[in-house]
Amino acid sequence: MRVGINGMGRTGRLALRAAMGGLYRGADDPRSGNRLDVVHVNELKGGATTTAHLLDFGSIHGRWRERFDVEDNRALLIGNRRIGFSQAATPDAIPWAELGCDLVLECTGTLLKVEQLQGYFEHGVKQVIVVAPVKQSGAHNVVVGVNDHLYEPRQHRLLAAASCTAGAAALLQPRLHAVHAGIPVPAL
């Protein structure tokens, strides 16, 4: 699956690092080879040079193990990979499908209404995953471990992450059920 990322703030950069192997995974991790094919990124602020610098020097994960370069503010060169780069203000200003994107990770945190996200689909994207909650019908908000089993790939083209609060509460849910049922649980 070929992926685009809109918004190269903290979340977008972490998604790109994880997709391309910039985060260390031990040899015993059964998912160590799982990678996404990121083909295009869009970021309004700072340009390609700033984006490349912020990717290279992660404040938490340290320096990436690849060589970075920029091609005329139109592409990031990471190791032997070329990733298209743009600075468009809205999703409908980018020909996502023509750039090879099947799926876009919407990481700006600002496009949270269904009508704001339509530009992706109008430009041929098959699926959009928004990293924040979309509080309207038309988006399938997912909380992993709570309702992710309801996801239907052919039906749900617009996915959204529920709030970080909902995600954190979902992690506690099994513990709360155990405590309520009188089952001893280890301390956190």
Q: Are 56 and 63 in contact (CB under 8 A)?
A: yes
How many Å separate Cα 176 from the centre of its chain?
A: 30
| Angstrom distance (rounded) from CA 38 to CA 27 | 23
Nearest residue to 4 via CA among 139, 89, 138, 126 = 126
Euclidean distance between the first and final Cα of the chain, in Å?
A: 38
3-state DSSP helix/strand/coil % of the chain, to nearest 5: 30, 25, 50
Sheet holding 103-106, edge to edge: 68-71, 75-78, 81-86, 37-42, 2-6, 103-106, 127-130, 158-161, 140-142
Catalytic residue among 93, 164, 171, 178: 164
Is-catalytic flag, 164?
Answer: yes
Task: Name the residue among 77, 68, 129, 75 with its Cα closest to residue 104.
Answer: 129
* Residues forming the active site: 164
